[in-house]
Amino acid sequence: DIQLTQSPSFLSASVGNRVTITCRASQGINIYLAWYQQKPGKAPKLLISTASTLQSGVPSRFSGSGSGTEFTLTISSLQPEDFATYYCQQHSSHPPTFGGGTKVEIK
């Protein structure tokens, strides 16, 4: 199985801050990396697929980049509704796997 390692596992930031989360894959996955946002008590929501494709309705302050084994999710200006846990998921090979998550909290 492909292992995904997210860093940091926790970050504290203020509204308006630029935030970057990294996801590293144990082997190359081309661009087949997705990002999800999960708020407490809710199901995850797909934000980005194929490393950088923003899903319909997702604010443009979210962006993704990377290929191969290293990927990043960037929130250009953190908003109150962005405080959540973010997960990466590889959709390159079976079985699909997820990173351990990054919790973004209010500073």
Q: Which residues bind other proteins (CB under 8 A)?
A: 1, 32, 34, 36, 42-46, 49, 55, 87, 89-101
Residue that has been written with the tokens 């194929």 in this structure: 50
Q: Which two tokens stand for residue 54?
A: 């923003």
Rounded least distance, CB 3 to other proteins, Å: 12
Distance CA 4, CA 76 (A): 23
Rounded least distance, CB 53 to other proteins, Å: 10
Rounded least distance, CB 79 to other proteins, Å: 22
Q: Are strands 53-54 and 33-38 parallel, antiparallel or unpaired?
A: unpaired
